[in-house]
């Protein structure tokens, strides 16, 4: 039974440290240096405890499996947390062949800042609706677009605003 407990302890420690590592990486990408530093401190602290425990119990194959399982689950948990708490900003491009005006009006009515650009695609002219939003607003934006044009193309990219105003965001 002790063999099982040690594998579970190692797995839990790895889940914690990899989750923190994933969040730290996201903070680095978003240039949040203090958040990244604090998160990194706790990530390494947990990792050191995990490694100490693993080295002391390396003779057990289940511990190694627990280590690998914790790593995989930690990556999943870290990304899931990031999606839930919405760290940072995203640039969203929306293309709709039939409903551009309706989408623009609905987004602006819901306090999204929107820029519309003309472009040419394979089938001719198209408008690109562009906005930079706080990731926490992603579900709201998607619901608005889906209601008007469920077949509209949505492209999302990470964004790091340098200066200027993003409607509804605090810097």
Residues 147 and 118 in one domain: yes
Domain of residue 129: give its range: 89-159
Q: What is the pLDDT of residue 97?
A: 78
Residues 122 and 75 in one domain: no
Tell which of 67, 85, 103 closes a domain.
85
User: Can you give the pTM of this predicted structure?
Assistant: 0.68
Q: What is the pLDDT of residue 115?
A: 93
Residues 75 and 99 in one domain: no
Residues 121 and 52 in one domain: no
Cβ-based neighbours of 121, under 8 Å, separated by 6 or more:
95
Judge whether residue 171 has pLDDT over 80: no
63 touches 7 (CB < 8 A): yes
Residues 17 and 57 in one domain: yes
- If you average pLDDT over residues 57-62, what whole number do you get? 83
User: What is the tens place of the pLDDT at every residue in 60-70?
Assistant: 889 889 999 99
| 98-125 core/surface letters (b: 16 or more CB in 10 A; e: else) | ebbeebbebbeeeebbbeeeeeeeeeee
The angle that helices 33-56 and 61-85 make with each other, rounded to 10 degrees, is 160
Residues 101 and 41 in one domain: no
Q: Please count the structural domains in the chain.
A: 2
**What gap in Å lies between CA 78 and CA 23, rounded to an integer?**
6
- If you average pLDDT over residues 92-103, what whole number do you get? 90
Q: Quick check: is 170 in a domain? A: no
Tell which of 85, 107, 130 closes a domain.
85
pLDDT over 70 percentage in the chain: 94
Q: Quick check: is 164 in a domain? A: no
């Amino acid at each position: 039974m002790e063999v099982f407990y040690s594998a579970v302890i190692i797995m839990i420690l790895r889940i914690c440290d990899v989750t923190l590592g994933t969040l730290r990486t996201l903070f680095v990408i978003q240039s949040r240096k203090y958040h990244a530093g604090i998160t990194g401190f706790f990530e390494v602290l947990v990792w050191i405890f995990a490694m100490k425990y693993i080295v002391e119990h390396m003779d057990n194959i289940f511990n190694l499996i627990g280590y690998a399982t914790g790593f995989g689950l930690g990556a999943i948990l870290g990304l899931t947390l990031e999606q839930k708490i919405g760290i940072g900003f995203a640039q969203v491009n929306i293309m709709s062949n039939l409903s551009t005006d309706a989408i623009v009006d609905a987004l602006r009515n819901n306090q999204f800042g929107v820029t519309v650009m003309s472009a040419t695609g394979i089938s001719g002219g198209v408008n690109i609706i562009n906005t930079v939003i706080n990731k926490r607003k992603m579900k709201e934006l998607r619901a608005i677009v889906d209601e008007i044009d469920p077949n509209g193309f949505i492209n999302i990219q990470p964004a790091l605003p340098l200066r200027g105003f993003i409607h509804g965001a605090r810097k």
